[in-house]
Amino acid sequence: MEESMTTSQGGESDMECSDNEFYDYYNSNDDIDIEQIDPRNIDPEYFEYNCLLEEQVDRLLNETVETLSNNLQIPPSLAKVLLHSNQWNINEVTKKFNDNSTQTLIAARIEPDAPPSSLLLTRLSSYVYCSVCATLQHFENFHNLSCAHMFCNECWTMHFEVQINQGISTGIACMARDCIVLAPEDFVLKHLQRPNMREKYQQFSFQDYVKSHPFLRFCPGPNCSIVVHSKDIKAKRATCNQCKTIFCFKCGCDYHAPTDCHVIKKWLTKCADDSETANYISAHTKDCPKCHICIEKNGGCNHMQCYNCKHDFCWMCLGDWKSHGSEYYECSRYRENPNIAHESVHAQAREALKKYLHYYERWENHSKSLKLEEQTLEKLRSRINQNVMSGLGTWIDWQYLFTAANLLAKCRYTLQYTYPYAYYMEGGSRKELFEYQQAQLEAEIENLSWKIERAETTNRGDLENQMDIAEKRRTTLLKDFLDE
Partner 1 sequence: MANIAAQRIKREFKEVIKSEEVAKCAIKLELLNDSYTELKGEIAGPPDTPYEGGNFVLEIRVPETYPFNPPKVRFITKIWHPNISSVTGAICLDILKDQWAAAMTLRTVLLSLQALLSAAEPDDPQDAVVARQYKENLEMFKLTAKHWTNVYAGGPFVNSDCDDKIKRLIDMGIEEHQARVALSSYNWVLERATEQLFS
How many angstroms separate the CA atoms of 205 and 185, rounded?
9
CB within 8 Å of 138: residues ≥ 6 apart: 126, 127, 128
| Among 265, 278, 271, residue whose Cα is nearest residue 335 | 278
Burial zone of 319 (CB within 10 Å; 0-12 exposed, 13-18 middle, 19+ buried): middle
Element (H, E) at 143: strand 142-143
Alpha-carbon gap, residue 88 to 97, rounded angstroms = 14
Between 12 and 111, name the residue whose CB sits nearer to partner 1.
111
- Under the binding rule (CB under 5 A), the answer on residue 319 touching Zn ion is yes
- Please say whether the beta carbons of 297 and 286 come within 8 A: yes
Minimal distance in Å, beta carbon 158 to partner 1? 6
User: What's the min distance (Å) between Cβ of 121 and Zn ion?
Assistant: 13
Which of 179, 268, 409, 469 touches Zn ion (CB under 5 A)? 179
DSSP state letter for 182:
B
- Compute how many other C-beta atoms are within 10 angstroms of the C-beta atom of residue 387: 16
Q: Which of 248, 251, 271 is nearest to 362 (CA)?
A: 271
- 401 is in the binding site of which of Zn ion, partner 1, none (Cβ under 5 to 8 A by kind)? none
Binds 162: which of Zn ion, partner 1, none (CB < 5-8 Å by kind): partner 1
Q: For residue 301, indicate whether it is catalytic.
A: yes
303 touching Zn ion, by CB under 5 A = yes
State which residue, 151 or 206, has the beta carbon closest to partner 1. Answer: 151
Residue 53 touches Zn ion, criterion: CB under 5 A: no
Q: What residue number has its CB nearest to Zn ion?
A: 303
The answer to whether the Cα torsion of 332, 337, 339, 341 is positive or negative is negative
Catalytic residue among 155, 248, 301, 314: 301
3-state SS, residue 48: coil
Binding interface with partner 1 (CB under 8 A): 131-135, 149, 151, 155, 158-159, 162-163, 173-179, 299-303, 305, 310, 325-326, 328-329, 331-333
Q: Please list every residue from 133 through 162 that binds Zn ion, using CB under 5 A.
A: 133, 147, 149, 152, 155
Nearer to partner 1, 162 or 439 (CB): 162
Question: Which CB atom, from 297 or from 358, has the smaller least distance to partner 1?
Answer: 297
Q: Judged by CB, which is closer to partner 1: 96, or 324?
A: 324
In the bound complex, what is the minimum distance in angstroms from residue 307's beta carbon to partner 1? 9
Amino acid at residue number 424:
Y
Minimum distance of partner 1 from residue 359's CB (angstroms): 32
Q: Which is nearer to partner 1, 138 or 355 (CB)?
A: 138
Nearest distance from C-beta of residue 14 to partner 1, angstroms: 43
Contact 463, 452 (CB under 8 A): yes
| Cα–Cα distance, 92 to 21 (Å, whole number) | 12
Asked if 233 touches Zn ion (CB under 5 A), the answer is no
Residue 149's φ and ψ, nearest 5 degrees, are -75, 115
User: How many alpha carbons fall within 13 Å on the CB side of residue 201?
Assistant: 26
Asked if residues 410 and 374 have their Cβ atoms less than 8 Å apart, the reply is no
**Residue 83 binds what, of Zn ion, partner 1, none (CB under 5 to 8 Å, by partner type)?**
none
The catalytic residue positions are 301
Residues at the site binding Zn ion, with contacts judged by CB under 5 A: 130, 132-133, 147, 149, 152, 155, 174, 176, 179, 181, 219, 221, 224, 226, 235, 240, 242-243, 245, 248, 250-251, 261, 301, 303, 314, 316-317, 319, 331
